Structure 1
């Protein structure tokens, strides 16, 4: 089977969507499929082009013998991502990916074109490639980007831009043969948007179960970072507005009298400086860069409690990719979400969920877990069990490979008619 993948984010980025797009392409190649990838030059989560990458040129990488061929495309990266600059950012990738994707598709004749959203703008490129070659179209939704923009206030729903974005999203989704997403509630949203059941498929993110081990005792990462308190409440990942991360320094302020607790934030992103300003004067919160991937297990194991805030309205539109490895680390999670959301459902039994934006409830949940070691350990065991049962990469990709192979067979059957 020949698969052409279009994903804005890809390795060498090490967090977020890139982890799963890279894992998908590499694993499908390892299973004997012919996979090619078009992606952007690495910029996330720093929101600036990484050193050594060309500002205007393309870069092609063959990922080992039999691995996917990866074409990195230039794009505009805004210093401050806003609604308008993000649109330019997405549009620039769509424009630079277009000629390479079309030429590669005409030469390679893919059976399936696989598109990862965000960004849906670039899906037009994939649609044209599929129409020219007869390939089947698969859309994989990591985030409902239009509604997330509404929820964060980046775009007003009834504005001209908001109406145009919603209309484009609906029009584009109708073009796909299969649309997948990462959780039950997100699949329900597809149903509510009128997507037929036969087109819907659950393709979950996965935990890195080989890399993330349960650390028994004290993680060596604490000594590396100079943390001496008994407990650590830990957040790692992208630092952006949609996470509602300001609740962390608010909770740290509420728990400032505890001399046994350090809040640790390892991350980069456009909201980082604002978050540091909100933490001014607090001695119980520390900021560090993202830790190297080879230290992933030690970094996650440093936590007594993982922190996963989301703002109201966004938690039902996304399922944060970092959750999978949090669960795999065997540590409980304190998240902010409403009960019916995918995030709340995944955390239930493996941690505590509080109301978005309620710093008092968030702080009380953290403190309750720290002061109840038996419950904390029970939640941690359930977290690891859930990762093993629901987030295993091989099992998830087995299901996807089966569905995608059937889709490719349908393409061949149509061509033979």
Structure 2
């Protein structure tokens, strides 16, 4: 068996949106490449913030998923995922993950968000001389700053924690060059320790569901322009903007229907808005096959972000959007990673965030350009996936990052100490 790597992160399969598909996919790819892979994770709960049916909260669960052994540790899952409750969940997960069976890994990969859990895990790894690779999917404190979800003192304190944690790790992986620039410039991380590994698409085109049949199933008239947003419904998505654009479509008679698919903290409010808006619809999360089919049945695929977001995230939905080959409308800041990705892929157009009038006009314009060009304009997404966002390229780059940190462990007696701790 090859070198042993342990992934520790809150999210893993069977969650099929957000971070989980990438952690699950990379663990499986490394196992296929000959690595001895283990996973310590939490209870599946995202994006609904409810524990999935069949997973008990009172004891540990062990399973093998696609050839990878997975250990789940219990932790609270707050229905209202505010900052304080989320920190409580992270800390409890981190404490229990640090006490789980690690089986003497050559390196530990900690997945963030779950910053405070990662800090706790780092302490155990450092004690035993195990090198740590931090895999940063979202920059924690950039998100706090841009969403205003914490006060100035709390944000500064968390930035100090995040910076010290990342600087202490033997290496880190970020998902975009913009993230790499931020952690170096703002958090003081040594550029030599930072590796950019792009997220890949984990959804393939649907081959079993006819788009026209699917539209009929959901009651979408063929003459309607379906603008589809998928994934989390939280503060940073600012989906009230989409509801307002749908109201404008209804008032003006524009043949545009805005559809949201997924879950999250804002979903109940959005459902209330949809109950009184003929051109606004909220659907629950769906399985991967139906998800792929929905992307292919839509006319425009939407990324909507809160005004002011320029650093904090690269929406994972973009990789799936590009694979679907439909035009992408990005209601985002011009300096955001999302705007950069859509422009780089030549896959759509950007409109200002927080502007319902611009959102509706953009949907009409983008669809018109797509139809007039016979589907050739804004069609670079599939090419971009092949050339930039492939899973093979991500796996090779991740292995290079792991190999760079594996040599930095420094405690030759860690086998004995870990075995003692786990007995």
Tell me: CA distance 1:216–1:354, structure 2 relative to 1, closer, same or farther (3 Å).
farther
2:338 is matched with which residue?
A: 343
Aligned residue number for residue 208 of structure 1 = 202
Matching of residue 370 in structure 1 with residue 367 in structure 2: yes
- Structure 2 partner of 1:281: 276
Task: Report how far residue 215 of structure 1 moved.
Answer: 9.8
Q: Residue 185 in 1 paired to residue 187 in 2?
A: no
**Cα distance change of structure 1 residues 132 and 53 upon mapping to structure 2, 3 Å threshold:** same
Say yes or no: does 1:235 pair with 2:229. yes
Please give the root-mean-square deviation of Cα atoms over the aligned residues, in Å: 2.2
Cα–Cα, structure 1 residues 73 and 325, in superposed 2: closer, same or farther, change >3 Å? Answer: same
Contact 2:330–2:351 (Cα < 8 Å) also in 1: yes
Q: How far off its partner does 1:201 sit?
A: 0.5
C-alpha deviations, 1:288-335, integer Å up to 9, x for none? 111211223211101110011011233421001111001110011111
Quote the offset at 1:164 in angstroms: 2.0
Structure 2 partner of 1:255: 249
Cα pair 2:236 2:306 within 8 Å, conserved? yes
Which residues of 2 match residues 6-405 of structure 1 at below 5 A?
6-64=8-66, 67-100=67-100, 104-105=101-102, 108-157=103-152, 159=153, 161-193=154-186, 194-208=188-202, 211-212=204-205, 218-230=211-223, 231-256=225-250, 257-258=252-253, 260-348=255-343, 349-372=346-369, 373-375=371-373, 377-405=375-403
User: Compared with structure 1, are the counterparts of its residues 261 and 5 closer, same or farther at alpha carbon in structure 2 (3 Å cutoff)?
Assistant: same
What is the CA–CA distance in structure 1 between the aligned matches of 2:222 and 2:212, rounded to whole Å? Answer: 13
Judge which range, 273-282 or 113-122, deviates more: 273-282
Cα distance change on mapping 1:79 and 1:386 into 2, 3 Å: same
Q: CA, structure 1 residues 295+314, in 2 after alignment: closer, same or farther (shift >3 Å)? A: same
Report the alpha carbon displacement of residue 355 of structure 1 after superposing the two structures with TM: 1.6
Aligned length: 405
TM, length-normalised to structure 2: 0.90
Q: Structure 1, unaligned stretches of length 5 or more?
A: none
1:214-255 Cα offsets, whole Å, 9 max, x none, are 999835321221222422110111111111111111111122
1:276 Cα deviation from its structure 2 partner: 2.5
Q: TM-score, length-normalised on structure 1?
A: 0.91
1:73-107 superposed Cα distances (whole Å, 9 cap, x missing partner): 1111111111211111211211221210xxx23xx
SS in 1 for 2:50: coil
Deviations 1:339-386 (A, max 9, x none): 222111101121111222122211111110122213582344211111
Whether the 8 Å contact between 1:203 and 1:396 is mirrored in structure 2 is yes
Residues 219 and 70 of structure 1: CA distance in aligned 2, closer, same or farther (over 3 Å) = farther
SS of 1:148 mapped into structure 2: helix
SS at match of 1:378: coil
Distance (Å, rounded) in 1 between the aligned partners of 2:288 and 2:122 = 35
Alignment-derived partner of residue 419 in structure 2: none
Q: 1:217 to 1:260 in 2, by over 3 A?
A: farther
Question: CA-to-partner distance for each residue in 1:128-173, whole Å, 9 max, x for gaps?
Answer: 332243222101111112221232221012x3x3332122112111
